[in-house]
Structure 1
Amino acid sequence: MSEATERPGPGPGREPDPDAWERACAEDLAAENARRRAAGGPGEQPGSAAEELRKLVEAVADKVSSFQLPLAGAAAQGAVREIVEQAKAAALPVIERNPEVFDHLASAGSELLAAYRAAVTRQEARWTRDEPAHEPPAPREGEAKSGGSERIDLD
């Protein structure tokens, strides 16, 4: 079918719906999320960072809500459950609207961890070979030595 026959115009006397695209996208996103939740189960592969964060928020909220505090009364436990539900209601929409942000944050964290491991591995190799660390250059005449800080050589 051609594009014109698949999506006919608004027709005579009808205005186009300005929110149709937004609603269609929201429906598609909700259907995809429902499909992913239904497909999930034990032993599944880890999903995106946003999906994993959503699962973590829900698991923590469920666990905190299930605590039975012997010294707290029913009102205190109800207040804790209410706070947990409010936090969950605030966090989940942010995660759903911005999944790519959490993927980028996870990638950045992985890169930082790799850089840290490389620096530590190199320094450990120097220590085991008893190599002296590179000394920073002595301050020039007239320059005050910086107090309280030390140069850390990552090379």
Structure 2
Amino acid sequence: MNDATEHPAPHGRPDPDAWEAACAEDLAAERARRREQYGQGAPGSAGDELRKLIDAVADKVAGLRLPPAAAAAQGAVQQLVDAAKAVVEPVVERNPEVFDHLASAGSELLAAYRAAVRGQEQRWTRRAADDGGDGGGDAGGDGGDAPGGPERIDLD
């Protein structure tokens, strides 16, 4: 990754946009890597995927065959979908990179969550093996939480 020391600003001052430039370079490199790995059939940007999702939901709602009593509800849902589409479309047009960044952030959060859960599962498995392999824990000998009770998961 690039930083201000690799691309120093003129006059020896740190470049205030160095982080933004480095992130943009990393994002472009990741996109190029994915295009190379998956070819042109790879999904589009997150904004394009959001548009496709909204269009698919609108098509599904429009294609529903409901009894006359539910037609009013279908109309209300269709209006809601159309309103969401009207709100999202200009935002995606003005800021397509935002959705890519949000998708990347979501992926990072999911990876962090998985790592935390995986670590906790390993601790539970180790504790169950230490308790004799029954997985039930000890009802009161070690000062820990009662079996089945709440337990703190350390995310550090």
Tell me the TM-score normalised to structure 2 length.
0.52
Taking a change above 3 Å as real, the CA distance of residues 123 and 93 of structure 1, as seen in their structure-2 partners, is same
Structure-2 residue corresponding to 1:109: 106
Q: CA separation in 1, counterparts of 2:74 and 2:155?
A: 50
Taking a change above 3 Å as real, the CA distance of residues 92 and 72 of structure 1, as seen in their structure-2 partners, is farther
CA contact (8 A) 2:54 2:81 kept: no
Structure-1 residue corresponding to 2:55: 58
User: How far 1:88 moved relative to its partner?
Assistant: 1.7
Structure-2 residue corresponding to 1:129: 126
Cα RMSD (Å): 2.8
User: How far 1:72 moved relative to its partner?
Assistant: 2.8
Q: CA separation in 2, counterparts of 1:122 and 1:112?
A: 15
Structure-2 residue corresponding to 1:93: 90
User: How far 1:54 moved relative to its partner?
Assistant: 0.9
CA contact (8 A) 2:46 2:103 kept: yes
Partner letter of residue 154 of structure 1?
L
4+ aligned runs moved over 3 Å, structure 1: 73-83, 149-152
Match of 2:64 among 67, 89, 97: 67
Higher helix proportion (structure 1 or 2): 2
How many aligned positions are there? 97
Specify which structure has the bigger relative contact order, considering alpha-carbon pairs within 8 angstroms and separated by 6 or more residues.
Answer: 1
CA contact (8 A) 1:119 1:154 kept: yes
CA contact (8 A) 1:50 1:99 kept: yes
User: How far 1:68 moved relative to its partner?
Assistant: 2.0
CA contact (8 A) 2:54 2:85 kept: yes
Q: CA separation in 1, counterparts of 2:87 and 2:122?
A: 47
Structure whose alpha-carbon radius of gyration is higher: 1
Tell me the TM-score normalised to structure 1 length.
0.52
The answer to whether the aligner puts 1:154 opposite 2:155 as a matched pair is yes
Runs of 5+ in structure 2 lacking a partner?
Answer: 1-39, 132-149
